[in-house]
Structure 1
Amino acid sequence: MDNLIFTSESVILYERKRIHALKYEEIICITTDRPYLVITTVESLQMFIQMSLSKVGELLPDYFCLCNQSTIINLTYAYLYEEHNGHFFVSLSAMLEPFEVSRRCKRNIKNKMLYINKNRGL
């Protein structure tokens, strides 16, 4: 099992004989691939960990947001939120496909995106 340490600026992953330190800004999204979570970085690096999505979500900074039951996204990479045929999607830079947003998560994502975009220039 992987060992994780969450600090104020990064997540440190101890994996077999390697140690990875990922700054939160480098993480684009975290998705489920049971029984693992897949951390995807801006360099398209994918790291697999064993931990629940809800637990990881509690430990991440506020600019990360649950998008649906299987995805947490870094909203600093979000550039488009749109509705299409009654479904909601958010697009992230460096990702080819948009993520579907559950109805339960849509208000939180919209509010956080507006807050982040409003405060980017500060």
Structure 2
Amino acid sequence: MIAYKDIVFFVTDRPYIIIETEKKERIHIQASMSRIVKCLPSCFCMCSQSAIINLSYVNAYENDQHTFRIYLRNGCIINASRRYHTILKTQIVAFKKMMMNRT
């Protein structure tokens, strides 16, 4: 069992999904991304068909002409697809505002 708060991201490595935790552990499971995304709380966001990130681990993001990059607190960089980057950017900003209002 892994607590949601400890999961940094999910990525596909067909036929497996890799779960990376805050402690840099990598856990392989057999599941589909669509099945996983349905079970996750709102702090998770899909950034491509092959990656889901935990918004609480987003350190920064960068949007250049061709790529939308998400920099995570654990040092990983995840690229968002064009299909998801607008939604992702909106969700990152909304999540950060929500977290600031909690403190």
**1:103 alignment partner, one of 79, 82, 85:** 82
Question: How far, CA to CA, are the matches of 1:73 and 1:95 in structure 2?
Answer: 13
**Bigger-Rg structure (1/2):** 1
Pairwise CA distance, 1:108: 1.3
- The residue matched to 2:23 in structure 1 has which SS? coil
User: Any gaps of 5 or more consecutive residues in structure 1?
Assistant: 1-20
Deviations 1:36-62 (A, max 9, x none): 000000001111111101110111001
RMSD of equivalent CA atoms: 1.0
Q: Within 5 Å, give how 1:51-90 maps onto structure 2.
A: 51-90=31-70
Structure with greater strand share of residues = 1
* Matched positions, count: 101
Aligned to 1:30: 10
Letter in 2 for 1:89: R
Question: How far, CA to CA, are the matches of 2:98 and 2:45 in structure 1?
Answer: 17
What TM-score do the two structures reach when normalised by structure 1? 0.78
Aligned to 2:23: 43
What TM-score do the two structures reach when normalised by structure 2? 0.92
Question: How far, CA to CA, are the matches of 1:104 and 1:79 in structure 2?
Answer: 22
- The residue matched to 1:86 in structure 2 has which SS? coil
Structure with greater helix share of residues = 2
- The residue matched to 2:34 in structure 1 has which SS? helix
Question: How far, CA to CA, are the matches of 2:80 and 2:68 in structure 1?
Answer: 5
Letter in 2 for 1:103: R
User: Any gaps of 5 or more consecutive residues in structure 2?
Assistant: none
